């Protein structure tokens, strides 16, 4: 696990280094801040920041991180989504994976009603990949104005080039600030204008910050420098007085801690009564068990199931968990808890396999959560629904369908953590990517595929053998061995965490010890909009 975390750290540090020392130097030589420095200054002091899709484009021809930084943090006490072009990587240009990552961040802003801040400095499309990019990229601009139409403010702070199609980022945002002598926003630069109309114009005339602030009106404020731009951006957010519409976290009252709290003895210096720094009004209970242990829990061989009670005890408030139906369908643990003060329902695979009982228990529990509008957290470690004659005859598909149905139509926010295995329809039932969880993060040890590499290769082999037999051909054992080996290696490579994260099948790989923090931030985001369950004319079906 520590090796995996080190590998994750190494990959993420690549992102921090942007386009490499040479480009960073050049960027700074121009007196510019790096995208991450902009983000750090934009955020409130000491605000947390959850970066999304850090390993996007891992293992591809593109830079890991896909040349863009997206994430969620607090600006002027407001939970915001930030999208920043990494201008030291190919001038901040956009490739198909950049687009995907950008769109995902916008989706997070939309679903959770979070103001969106774009830190713009991009050369536009990565031209060699334009065929895959140009047409779908239109969604970027469409989404900006749709966010606005949904009443979600969008802000663009323009630090550099934002030309051609890119000009529509500031164009489509509700608020736009441009940095003097740096921001350049135009549809066509001097050479293109010359070619198109024969007009001679310099880029300041075509799209300078000063021009846009005084003449075209595209810019709402002219910032004297980058710091000023970020200051104005923070002020814009402050002026929104953005309030979440979901319920606030129900913090435990400090007056009656459920367990003895060590209170330091008053001293001669004390001028006010003793008070914990996280006191009275904002008191959350940390888990009673050490989150460090999650490293060990996650390190297990995927063939050995994790006792998910041990995981829950390390992520929920006060390690308190009220289990629902503990004696029924016990391969799937369901129950209620609080996390950073937010009441939640948890569905967690305790033994990898889902049987009919587990599927029905899940369907019932999801309905119960919807009835009282509680967000659901899925802790995935599943090898899928049970197969075999007895189970098929016992209605495994029918019962599994109940669970998939419930997950699909549940309206409460879903948060998914992939802790280990995520195979087969278990991925669906446990709210995998296709089931639109609000957020989905995974641990670095996770593996996700339709089935395990051995099984998949074996299945293919059996099918081939059957086909050969049906056709009356002799079966080439040697070729089959090689083939099996090859397929197994391919799936082995595809099912690992980095590969899945590269495809944005999750919102990022996290250190298991950060699970509680990540879920806490995600729950905060989810509660920025109303939390409601599915409306149904029926009662909760007992299954």
Among 178, 308, 403, 518, binds other proteins (CB under 8 A): 518
Q: Which is nearer to other proteins, 174 or 507 (CB)?
A: 507
Q: Which of 1, 7, 12, 59 binds other proteins (CB under 8 A)?
A: 12
| Residue environment code for 83-106, b if the CB has 16+ CB neighbours within 10 A, otherwise e | bbbbbbbbbbbbbbbbbbbbbbbb
- Contact between residue 199 and residue 170 where contact means Cβ atoms under 8 Å apart: no
Give the one residue of 91, 246, 249, 287 binding other proteins; rule: CB under 8 A: 249
State the nearest-atom distance from the C-beta of 252 to other proteins, in Å. Answer: 11
| Residue 241 CB, nearest approach to other proteins (Å) | 11
Shortest distance (Å) from residue 264 CB to other proteins: 4
Displacement of CA 330 from its chain's centroid (Å): 29
Angle at the Cα of 65 from the Cα atoms of 520 and 162, rounded to 5 degrees: 105
Q: 110 vs 513, which CB is nearer to other proteins?
A: 513
Interface residues for other proteins in 521-540 (CB under 8 A)?
521, 524
Between residue 337 and residue 356, which ones bind other proteins under the rule CB under 8 A? 340-341
Cβ of residue 267: shortest distance to other proteins, in angstroms?
Answer: 7
Per-residue H/E/C for 53-118:
CCCCCCCCCCCCCCCEEEEEEEECCEEEEEEEECCCCHHHCECHHHHHHHHHHHHHHHHHCCCEEE
Site size for other proteins, by CB under 8 A? Answer: 74
Shortest Cβ distance from residue 76 to other proteins (Å)? 9
Shortest distance (Å) from residue 27 CB to other proteins: 8
- Report helix, strand or coil for 342: strand
Chain centre to alpha carbon of residue 219 = 31
Measured from the CB atom, the residue of 197 and 282 that comes closer to other proteins is: 282
Q: Which of residues 26-85 bind other proteins (CB under 8 A)?
A: 26, 28-29, 31-34, 36-37, 40-41, 44-51, 54, 73-74, 77-79
- Per rule CB under 8 A, is residue 231 in the interface with other proteins? yes
- The string over 291-306, giving b where at least 16 C-beta atoms fall within 10 Å of a residue's C-beta and e elsewhere, is bebbbebbebebeebb
Binding mask 131-150 for other proteins (x = CB under 8 A): --------------------
- Answer for which of 6, 21, 150, 469 binds other proteins (CB under 8 A) is 21
Q: Which of 140, 58, 62 is nearest to 99 (CA)?
A: 140
Shortest distance in whole angstroms from residue 72 CB to other proteins: 9
Q: Which is nearer to other proteins, 215 or 224 (CB)?
A: 224
Structure tokens at 352: 């990898």
Q: How far apart are CB 257 and other proteins at their closest, in Å?
A: 15
Site residues for other proteins, window 167-226 (CB under 8 A)? 224-226
CA dist., res. 72 & res. 79, Å (int) = 7
Please tell me the distance from the alpha carbon of residue 387 to that of residue 401, in angstroms, as a whole number. Answer: 14
Q: Shortest CA distance to 354 belongs to which of 388, 380, 331, 334?
A: 331
Site string for other proteins, 371-410 (x = CB under 8 A): ----------------------------------------
Stretch that binds other proteins, among 24-32, 103-111, 119-127, 325-333 (CB under 8 A): 24-32
**CA separation, residue 43 to residues 22, 79, 156, 220, 453 (Å):** 27, 10, 15, 21, 43
Cα–Cα dist 20/43, whole Å: 24
Buried/exposed code over 249-262 (b: 16+ C-beta within 10 A; e: otherwise): bebbebeeeeeeee
- Residues within window 288-327 making contact with other proteins, judged by CB under 8 A: 291-292
Question: Taking the complex as a whole, how short is the minimal distance between the CB of residue 348 and other proteins, in angstroms?
Answer: 22
* Touching other proteins, residues 263-292 (CB under 8 A): 264, 267-272, 274-275, 277-279, 282, 284, 291-292
Residue 130 or 284: the one with the smaller Cβ distance to other proteins is 284
CB of 285 to other proteins, least distance (A): 10
Q: Does 508 bind other proteins (CB under 8 A)?
A: yes
Nearest 5 degrees, angle CA 347-CA 351-CA 356?
A: 70
CB of 265 to other proteins, least distance (A): 9
The DSSP string of 420-435 is EEEETHHHHHTT-GGG
Give the one residue of 13, 255, 256, 393 binding other proteins; rule: CB under 8 A. Answer: 13
- The region of 454-462, 478-486, 495-503, 516-524 touching other proteins under the rule CB under 8 A is 516-524
For residue 151, the 8-state DSSP code is T
**Sign of the C-alpha dihedral computed for residues 447, 448, 452 and 457 taken in this order:** negative
């Amino acid at each position: 696990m520590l090796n995996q975390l080190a590998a994750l750290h190494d990959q993420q540090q690549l992102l921090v280094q942007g386009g490499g020392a040479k480009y960073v130097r050049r960027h700074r030589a121009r007196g510019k801040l790096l995208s991450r420095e902009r983000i750090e200054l934009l955020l409130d002091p000491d605000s947390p920041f959850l970066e999304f899709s850090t390993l996007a484009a891992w293992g591809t021809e593109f830079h890991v991180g896909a040349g863009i930084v997206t994430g969620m943090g607090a600006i002027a006490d407001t939970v915001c989504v930030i999208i920043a072009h990494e201008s030291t990587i190919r001038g901040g240009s956009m490739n198909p994976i950049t687009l995907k990552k950008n769109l995902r961040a916008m989706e997070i802003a939309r679903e959770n009603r979070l103001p969106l801040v774009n830190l713009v400095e991009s050369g536009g499309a990565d031209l060699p990949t334009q065929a895959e990019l140009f047409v779908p990229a239109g969604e970027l601009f469409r989404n900006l104005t749709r966010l606005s139409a949904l009443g979600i403010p969008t802000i663009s702070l323009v630090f550099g080039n934002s030309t051609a199609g890119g000009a529509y980022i500031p164009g489509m945002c509700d608020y736009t600030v441009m940095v003097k002598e740096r921001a350049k926003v135009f549809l066509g630069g001097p050479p293109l204008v010359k070619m198109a109309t024969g007009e001679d114009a310099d880029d300041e005339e075509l799209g300078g910050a000063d021009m846009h602030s005084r003449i075209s009106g595209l810019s709402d404020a002219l910032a004297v420098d980058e710091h000023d731009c970020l200051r104005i951006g923070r002020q814009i957010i402050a002026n929104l007085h953005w309030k979440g519409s979901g319920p606030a976290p129900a913090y435990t009252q400090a007056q009656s801690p459920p367990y003895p709290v060590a209170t330091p003895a008053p001293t001669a210096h004390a001028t006010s009564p003793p008070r914990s720094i996280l006191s009275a009004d904002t008191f959350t209970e940390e888990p009673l068990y050490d989150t460090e242990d999650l490293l060990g829990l996650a390190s297990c061989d995927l063939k050995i199931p994790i006792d998910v009670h041990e995981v829950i005890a390390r992520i929920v408030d006060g390690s308190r968990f009220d289990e629902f139906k503990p004696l029924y369908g016990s391969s799937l643990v369901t129950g209620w808890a609080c996390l950073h003060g937010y009441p939640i329902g948890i569905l967690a695979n305790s033994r990898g396999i889902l049987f009919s009982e587990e599927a029905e228990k899940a369907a019932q529990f999801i309905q119960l959560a919807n009835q009282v509008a509680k967000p659901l957290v899925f802790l995935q470690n599943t090898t899928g629904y049970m197969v075999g004659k007895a189970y098929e005859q016992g209605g495994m598909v029918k019962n599994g369908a109940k669970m998939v149905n419930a997950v699909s139509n549940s309206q409460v926010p879903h948060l998914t953590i992939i802790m280990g295995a995520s195979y087969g329809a278990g991925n669906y039932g446990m709210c995998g990517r296709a089931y639109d969880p609000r957020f989905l993060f995974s641990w670095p040890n996770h593996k996700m595929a339709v089935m395990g590499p051995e099984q998949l290769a074996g299945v293919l082999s059996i099918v081939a053998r059957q086909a050969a037999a049906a056709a009356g051909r002799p079966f080439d054992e040697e070729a089959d061995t090689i083939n099996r080996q090859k397929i197994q290696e391919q799936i082995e490579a595809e099912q690992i965490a980095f590969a899945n994260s590269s495809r944005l099948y999750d919102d990022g790989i996290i250190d298991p010890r950060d699970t509680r923090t990540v879920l806490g931030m995600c729950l905060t985001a989810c509660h920025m909009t109303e939390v409601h369950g599915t409306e149904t004319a029926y009662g909760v079906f007992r299954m």
